[in-house]
Structure 1
Amino acid sequence: MAIKVKFSFIFAFVLILNFSNAQQKKALSFDDYDHWKSLAKQKISNNGQWISYEINPQKGDGYLYIYNTNSHQLDSIARGKQAIFSPENDFIAFTITPQADTIKALKLKKAKSSKMPKDSLCIWNLRNGQKKTYARVRSFTVPSKQGNWLAVHFHKDTEKNKREHNDSTAQDSTQISKIPHKNSPSQKTKATKDIKKTAKKFKSEGTQLVYLNPTTGDSIAFEKVTRYFVPKYGDALFIVQSVGDSIEETQIKRLNTHLLHTDSLFHQSGKLQSLTASDKAEQLGFLFSPDTGKIKTYRLYHWSQKKKELTTVTDTLHHHIPDGWSASSKGRLWFSEKGDKLFFGTGKRPKEAAKDTLLKEEKVYVDIWNWKDTRIQPMQKKNLSKEKDRSYMAVYHCKDDIVTQLETEQLPSVSIPFKGNWDFAIGYDKAPYEKASSWNAVFAQDIYTIDLETGTKKIIQQKVSSKYSFSPDGKYLCWYNPGDSIWYLKNIDQNKQITLSKKLNIAFYDEINDMPHSPKAYGVAGWSPQSKYVYIYDRFDIWKFDTQMKKEPLNLTQGLGRKSNTQYRYKNLDDDIIYIDESEGILLSTFNESSKNMGYTWFKNGKLNTCLDESSYISTPIKAKEANHLIWKKGTFTNYPELYHSTMDFTDETMISNTNPQQKEYLWGHIQLVDYTALDGSKHQGLLVTPENLDPSKKYPMLVYYYERSQVG
């Protein structure tokens, strides 16, 4: 009896203490929302030793945090943003933005953009801890794959800045000398200022760019730079300078970062539009127009280090693209991964618009729709600007000096899979089914292959209306047919088609679909090396299909997903890896539909090893490129999704962020998963959210929220 009394006393004391704590906490107000912070832009260095992330409020100034995984030291930088680690792990570069209050005050005064404070750049040497800051930075770029160089492009200096930093600005050793105008006066005359005429000088919009190596201390400055390009491996830098006296002249240079030598590749009167280079900086492609008017026709140029020459790929007369067409400034300009192809856009040559002689009030605007149109009027209006800016993809074969038009007005949608390494492109034609899609909601398309050298197109499958996947080597097309709920596989070269899932008594479509159309498939997880197998999802598990059909389909996750009501999904931790290699082990995310737990499981040697399984939200991990380190976010209703660091098996996890420490000062709430039975006898689940200061003896109004199949009560 004494024990019961003692327990009751302690229980009552705890209730009083909790009530007292609740009374001391504040209720959230709208003013608090502006100061509530969020964590984003988390990154990890290639060697896994350094982690960076930003924590920013809804309004105001935030912080950049840098964490050392070896020493566990955490540093913060006020207003730091856009952090990038160098590929060699030698430094981290980030911008420091002006104070938010300062920007707001100047905007209220309607200050000109030239008067607004600019971002600064900080470079932090991770080897020795030294920091160096540069003011008035427009942009900066670090090679993504290799190298320790960094390009810093500055804003144009004001007169005040020029006086303050006159001695610190490097001279442009390659500045073009001024060209004398033929009408410039050679001697003074007594003519009035109104009669005296001089040539109008061209004012360059270019500004200073500095290419520097924070590790060695080397740096090279260029003036009047308008554009620049840093290739992935950092072997070179390409810059565009806007120079000239009375008219604009464009100059392109290449800096060899190993020899610290600069070569001039191009110099001509006119304007450059786009610039790109191959990954190893051995080739350059750019669009340039010598036209001085507002309407410009662009030419495509190609430079090769091997050929040591500049080639005009397309001009106003080129027999490999349609008549009246030219290179388009609206298209994407890029090299294939191997560097043997240069992809670019083409389009109808722009023309001067006819002079408008009508006043605005004299014009009448109407929308005209014909019942034969394949698109309904709202869709036409939505896509109007896109259609006006449309370009059509073409490819230049760098070694053979051949241009092939890929997209046409008849086949305007073409994709280049797997970084342009295939010999063919993929074309999509929606036209035969576009009109019917406005009433049956089936968005089907015919799929073609297009030979990159000849432009010859060949249809490989008609009326594909659901998920599909090409093997990374281009041998196979795998797609799902909603009509018979079967996955198919086609050998593209042999034009041979087989069924994959027909014999399996498993639903590969959305089992709980309640929409007025055929359910969609769960999709393809990926392909094995040499495309021997294709991995396909059902609702819970992952299936492994032999592309030669020599082996029976295998449930890779051993049916454990369906047995436990758990979804298994493949997570690729390296964007450079295009195959699923079971021998290396594969990471699978898990989500239990009953408990709502999330987690991760490693699959290796035919076994599933659960590493993480919690009643929490868990984000997709980010892996260090060259080390077995992971970072991810984890959170619940009561705990903000904080950033964690661990090894590959999720052991030794360490929480390295604390985003909203002020939350403990406020009344929050509790959440619980509730199972209930509807009036029709069906079983359902809901989330019951209650306030922290709930008094169980009182009645409260309850808000019930439903959206399609989702319900939260």
Structure 2
Amino acid sequence: MKYNIDKLFRRIPLIVRCTILVTLLTPSFGFAQGNAKKQLTKEDYSLWSNLRVGKLSQSAKWVSFSLFYESGEDTLFVKNSTATKTYSFPGASKGEFIADNWFSAMSSKGELVIVDLLTSKREINAEVIRYDLRVGTKDIILLKKRADGKKDLELKNVVTKKSLLLKDIENYWYNSGRDAVIYTTKSENNTAIGLFNLRDNTTTIINNNPNAFQYSDIVWQKGGKSIAFLLQPLEGSKRIYRTCVGYYRLAEDKFYSFNPSAQDHFPEDMEIITSSFAYLSISEDGKRIFFGLEKAVIPVDLSQVQTWSTKDKYLYTAKVQIDGWDRAAKVAVWWPERNSFKRITDNEFPKLMLSADQKYAFLYNPEQYEPQANREAPLDIYILDLETGTRKLLLQNQLGKEAAISISVYEKYIVYFKDRDWWAYDIVSGQHKNLTKELGVFFSDNESDRPEQASPFGNPGWIQGDKTLFVYDKYDIWSIAIDGRCALRLTSGREEKTTYRIVAQSTQQSFKMNYDGSYKGVFESKDRLLIKAEALEYTGYCFWDKKAGLQPLIDKMMYTSEFIASAKNDSYVYKEENYNLSPRLLIKEKSNSKVKMLFQSNTQQAKYYWGCSKLISYTNSKGSILNGVLFYPANYLAGAKYPMVVQVYEKQSKELYRFVNPSQKNPTGFNIANFNSKGYFVFLPDIVYQVGDPGSSAVDCVVSATKHVIGSESSIDSTRIGLIGHSYGGYETDYIITQTNMFKAAVAGAAITDYVSGYLWATWGFEKPNFWQYEFGQLRIGRSLYEDFASYLRNSPIYHAHKVNTPLLSWTGEKDSQVHYYQSIEFYLALRRLGKIHTMLLYPGEGHVLMDKKNQKDLTRRIEDWFDYYLKGNIKPEWL
């Protein structure tokens, strides 16, 4: 009979389980089990690193990974699958395997290091600017800087050491599908762009011009059949010349040029540019070139009187930056064969996505329904036939968020989410079809405790050959024919209470930018899907394919991540961790059915006492069964009494198995491992909310959870409980201490304290009125201030400040663009007037979280001082 050891392990009581785990792991750390452990101190924190998995060689004989330290002394490693040989590359980046026996990486000194993994011989190539691997070969393409400042392009074979040099090269762009390189050159009198055919080592000059120009933004057509680029005049030549577009077809050796000055209808006040949302691209059939247009930007005159009108679509600050969309880059299309062009976007419709064949554009204006109260307005989306110029309304009042979440483009279809279902629109027939209505499940969160319309769980892509769409419900992955004929549920997550999600394994399976939207992943019928499974008490990975269905690979009471499968066999590597187990790298080879550990990070952990985590279930006053995570103190002794800090922020039970590096540099000043090492329990309770009463919901859940955990763990001293939260958790902290005296001390960071003044403020990070946060979002009132004034007062800590008896430490950043620091000052002034115990820290130049390392250390120290003084009776720190 076979047993699942991991599932049996789950039945063992927590403290016994933690003891077993530490005992099992100690030998792997390299220390004898009998060695005495010691207490962790802040002087030891710098020893800890973060592990990140890198690459897997073709046949999984070698694995690369990196360790990152707060000191910046990072190292890239390569280790063989038998764990007998390790190479290290201090400060290196961009590590790549060449076949199975070589490895290359860029050093921090600009050197390309190439190692023969079998012989350990290293070759150093100095002054390398960048490099690429030539796919399917043992060649490296590298751009090198010479002593005279000029650059050369080199094609080097790592086996034969033979190389081919192209001299005086400015830059290059490699395409593996064409097995060719586009390069640019610059001499005293001339600039040129050329093609280097790697198959026969021949070069072809595509175009050349006086050196008043430079070539930029080179893009390859999919499959490498053609290229496009911008020909830009240098700074001193811009008054004479204009930026042009070049297009070259390799098979025909034919060059096309788009010169704005030679076009009858090209706008005189605009220039060709490239930007994040108006970039140069080539249609898949090579017949259309897309490029950006932009007017010369005149800086906003800050000395002028600002005119704020309630009828403005956007707030003044956003309005002047957009200037009726005049300041926004536009997109145009050019047909090289007939040398004609059209503008696609304009001030009426400034945003677009392209159809998969790039023959149609989907246009919209995000300000059409403005001004309105939500963060994003709904959208009316139009379809434009680029050839005929015909435009018609496609979707009306569509879910907003710039369409990126709810709309996908596939060949002749556009797939969109509306009224809780996925729909497909057939561009050819003009028909809309509901794909999920009859499936009997929700594809957005019907249990959401926010007032806003829930977004869909997701649509990662489709199988192009089968015309089959992937969509998610809360737990499962569905494969649905895009014409709606059939639907298949690939997983059984609903029955198992396990969430399954597809993990992209290639660039083709990943999202790609589509101007103001995205193209979702494209999968092949023969592809084996990699799927991540996550449940409350375990995580894992699976494979799925048409023939074998779902094939479980990992099912562990740990957090697993960064899974990489071999492209040539069934080998794979991944990272696993537990709260009391620092991340480690594991490998399973095709020839070996057992998973084995390849690398253990932070082996010094075995020298120190360490805590462990436990999942807690509790019930609030409404009868809802909720969860939380309790972290035990390092060197925990049953029967002893310990203080506890409760950290709050919505739902945090997913942190059950996450390892936490001890650190003095914490953006919010709080670190679970720090507190455990100092002899504290730490508790993270889940919170659910009633719309209109977020404050009392937080009080109910947190108080119920804290009472439960105190009652179930006798080692927690009920007279020494602290409370801490940041942002929304800071709001919850401030509100909770106005309603209960359970907590002996509290810390609130970047907290919202006044729902009235907060509602009538702007979130400058989004340049939006703050209405949406309260009416639709996280603050969960569900109605406007003037529809439900009482709820805004009832849920504001500021109006209950007279009931605070808990010493409070608050902190905020003076440049916080999400929660204004005046919110903290209001509460400070209220508590000052009432004579309460309160200290506020205001960090100049900092935002919603602290970014300056010096400030991070300062805040971490002060928060720990605060709780040490109030919960442990330590000497009062001087800063208090």
Q: Which has the higher helix share?
A: 2
Aligned counterparts of 2:324 and 2:534: Cα–Cα separation in 1? 39
- The one-letter code sitting in structure 2 at the alignment partner of 1:693 is N
Determine the C-alpha separation between the residues in 2 that align with 1:447 and 1:624: 42
Aligned CA distance change for structure 1 residues 68 and 452 (closer, same or farther; 3 Å): farther
- Is 1:345 the equivalent of 2:292? yes
Structure whose CA Rg is larger = 1
Q: Distance in 2 between matches of 1:311 and 1:645?
A: 52
Match of 1:153 in 2: 143
CA RMSD of aligned residues (A): 3.8
Residues 23 and 642 from structure 1, CA distance in 2 versus in 1: closer, same or farther, beyond 3 angstroms?
Answer: closer
Matches within 5 A, 1:495-534: 495-530=430-465, 532-534=467-469
Task: Report the Cα offset of residue 639 of structure 1.
Answer: 1.8
* One-letter amino acid matched to 1:213: N
Give 1:148 deviation, angstroms.
4.2
Residue identity opposite 2:143 in structure 1: H
Question: Which blocks of at least 5 consecutive residues in structure 2 are unaligned?
Answer: 1-15, 24-31, 510-520, 654-683, 686-880
1:207-227 deviation digits (Å, cap 9, x = unpaired): 344333334433333454332
Whether the 8 Å CA contact 2:294–2:327 is kept in 1: the answer is no
Say if 2:528 and 2:543, in contact at 8 Å, map to a contact too: no
1:500-579 correspondence runs (5 A): 500-530=435-465, 532-551=467-486, 553-557=487-491, 560-576=492-508, 578=521
Q: Kindly indicate whether residue 229 of structure 2 is the aligned counterpart of residue 283 of structure 1.
A: no
Deviation at 1:140, TM superposition (A): 2.2
Q: Does 1:641 align with 2:583?
A: yes
CA–CA distance in structure 2, aligned partners of residues 226 and 650 of structure 1: 48
Using the alignment, how far apart are the partners of 2:36 and 2:229 within structure 1? 65
Distance 2:568 2:213 in 1: 42
Matches within 5 A, 1:4-153: 24-40=36-52, 42-69=54-81, 73-86=85-98, 91-97=102-108, 118-125=109-116, 130-143=121-134, 145-153=135-143
Distance 1:638 1:284 in 2: 53
Deviation, 1:318, is 1.8
> Deviations for 1:552-607, whole angstroms, at most 9, x for unmatched residues?
x54443xx3222212222334344355556775544322224x3444436465575
Unaligned runs of 5+ in 1: 1-10, 98-117, 163-204
1:174 aligns with: none
Letter of the 2:471 partner, please give it.
I
For the 8 Å contact 1:316–1:325, the answer to whether it is kept is: no
Give the deviation of 1:323 after TM superposition. Answer: 4.3
- Equivalent residue pairs, number: 608
Distance across 2 between alignment mates of 1:48 and 1:583: 22
The answer to whether the aligner puts 1:700 opposite 2:639 as a matched pair is: no
Provide the rounded CA distance (Å) in 2 between the counterparts of 1:306 and 1:581. Answer: 28
Is the alpha carbon distance of 1:548 and 1:252 closer, same or farther for their aligned partners in structure 2, counting shifts above 3 Å?
closer
Q: Post-superposition shift, 1:94?
A: 0.8
Correspondent of 1:333 among 264, 280, 290:
280
Alignment identity in percent?
Answer: 22
**Of the candidates 381, 388, 395, which is equivalent to residue 447 of structure 1?**
381
**Separation (CA, whole Å) in 1 of partners of 2:313 and 2:634:** 56
The residue aligned with 1:298 is 243
2:365 to 398, 408, 429: 429
Report the counterpart of residue 465 of structure 1 in structure 2. 399
CA contact (8 A) 1:637 1:670 kept: yes
Q: Name the CA shift for 1:461/1:341 in 2 (closer, same or farther; >3 Å).
A: same
Residue 230 of structure 1 is matched in structure 2 by 174
More displaced 10-residue stretch of structure 1: 693-702 or 400-409: 400-409
Task: Kindly state the Cα deviation for residue 689 of structure 1 after the two structures are TM-superposed.
Answer: 0.2
In terms of mean alpha carbon deviation, does 364-373 or 263-272 score higher? 364-373
Q: TM-score, length-normalised on structure 2?
A: 0.62
Query: What is the match of residue 168 of structure 1?
Result: none
- The aligned counterpart of 1:193 is none
Equivalent position SS for 1:33: helix
Mapped partners of 1:286, 1:509: distance in 2: 42
Letter in 2 for 1:634: E
Distance 2:339 2:61 in 1: 46
What is the CA–CA distance in structure 2 between the aligned matches of 1:31 and 1:128, rounded to whole Å? 40
Inter-partner Cα distance in structure 1 for 2:386 and 2:212: 32
User: Aligned partners of 2:312 and 2:592: how far apart in 1?
Assistant: 56
Superposition deviation, residue 665 in structure 1: 1.8
User: What are the within-5 Å matches in structure 2 for residues 607-622 of structure 1?
Assistant: 607-622=549-564
2:163 to 211, 219, 224: 219
Give the letter aligned to residue 88 of structure 2.
S
Tell me how far apart the structure 1 counterparts of residues 564 and 161 of structure 2 sit (CA, whole Å): 31
Q: Distance in 2 between matches of 1:135 and 1:380?
A: 50
Shift, 1:91, TM fit = 3.8
Q: What CA deviation, in whole Å up to 9, does each residue of 1:202-251 have, x standing for no partner?
A: xxx7434433333443333345433222223463333223321xxx6423
Distance 1:342 1:48, change over 3 A: farther
CA deviations over 1:46-92 (Å, ceiling 9, x no partner): 44443222222221433222233478643223333211234x55643
CA distance in 1, matches of 2:286, 2:34: 65
Residue aligned with 1:664, SS: helix
Equivalent pair of 1:642/1:655 in contact (CA under 8 Å):
yes
| Superimposed CA distance per residue, residues 655-706 of structure 1 (whole angstroms, 9 cap, x where no aligned partner) | 3222211221222211111112224432111110012212222222211122
Partner of 2:613: 671
Higher relative contact order (CA closer than 8 Å, sequence separation 6+): 2
The answer to whether structure 1 residue 243 and structure 2 residue 194 are counterparts is no
User: In the alignment, what sits opposite 2:414?
Assistant: 477
Give the Cα separation in 2 of the matches to 1:444 and 1:85.
47
Contact 1:146 1:234 in 2 (8 A): no
Q: Select which of 195, 202, 220 maps to 1:261.
A: 202
Q: Contact 2:527–2:545 (CA<8 Å) still a contact in 1?
A: no
Q: How far does residue 341 in structure 1 lie from its aligned partner after superposition?
A: 4.1
1:657 aligns with 2:669: no
